[in-house]
Amino acid sequence: MKLASTTDIYEMMIAFVGSAALNTALELGLFWVLAQRPDTAKGVAQTLEIPPHRCQYWLEVLLEMGLLERADGIYSVSSTTRKAILNVHSQEAWSFRGEYRREQHPGVIDLALHIHQPGSVWAAQGREAPDGYQRLKIDPNWAARFTRMGYEFHQNLASEVTAVLDMTGVQRMIDLGGGSGVISVVLLERYPELVSTVVDFEHVCAAGQSIAATTSIADRINYVAADFMTSQPDLTWH
């Protein structure tokens, strides 16, 4: 967002409130709850087990942002929310995205107090920065959710990347660190003679394989579990 006025500056100074409200709504599934059944603040508070006054303030922030509508005390999702959120990605993908952003947020808490200190601001706060790569290695559930979220959110990126790649005449490709295999899937759909081997962490490959199994190119994509930065993967097609 490019700031162009003093009003923009004022709004940006409290933008973290809106960001927190939005990410919380995504993580807790608020928009899907209200899309299914519009409700009062009290009803939402009961459904999501949130203290009523806190829930009311939260809903009002989202209302001011244009993400909710209110009529006769009943909150519902706005057309913007339907168009930009509900109709774009799944609840699971959005929920993980909100959770992921929340985990990254502490790095900028009280930034003015720590920005002068050399090294990590996380360390200055006595916190440890999240290690996403390590979690991909050791946490199968987190890796699966991360991979599925990436597959949904990277569809446009995959189309943009593959649009500038001419794979005419190419029969085999290796997709190093390919994650869900989203780019490989798009390429294989465009080039019927092409097969792809996706190399990534074990749990990522497992999730990617389950995604690929639902596509029309499942028999032409292969997943090899390996950390290609530290090991020599077996890229034999199987």
Give dist(CA 41, CA 62) in Å, integer.
Answer: 12
Task: List, for residues 29-38, the tens digit of each pLDDT value.
Answer: 999 999 999 9
Is residue 238's pLDDT more than 70? no
pLDDT higher than threshold 60 for residue 23: yes
What's the pLDDT at 236? 65
pLDDT of residue 151: 97
- Determine the pLDDT at residue 157: 93
Q: Which residues contact 204 (CB under 8 A, 6 or more apart)?
A: 136, 143, 146, 147, 179, 180
- In this prediction, residue 49 carries a pLDDT of 97
Q: What is the pLDDT of residues 161-202, one digit of tens each?
A: 999 999 999 999 999 999 999 999 999 999 999 999 999 999
List, in order of start, the domains of the chain with CATH numbers: 1-130 (1.10.10.10), 148-225 (3.40.50.150)
Could you report the per-residue pLDDT of 100-134, keeping only the tens digit for each? 999 988 888 888 988 888 888 888 888 888 899 89
Going by C-alpha positions, the residue among 72, 82, 35, 75 that lies closest to residue 59 is 75
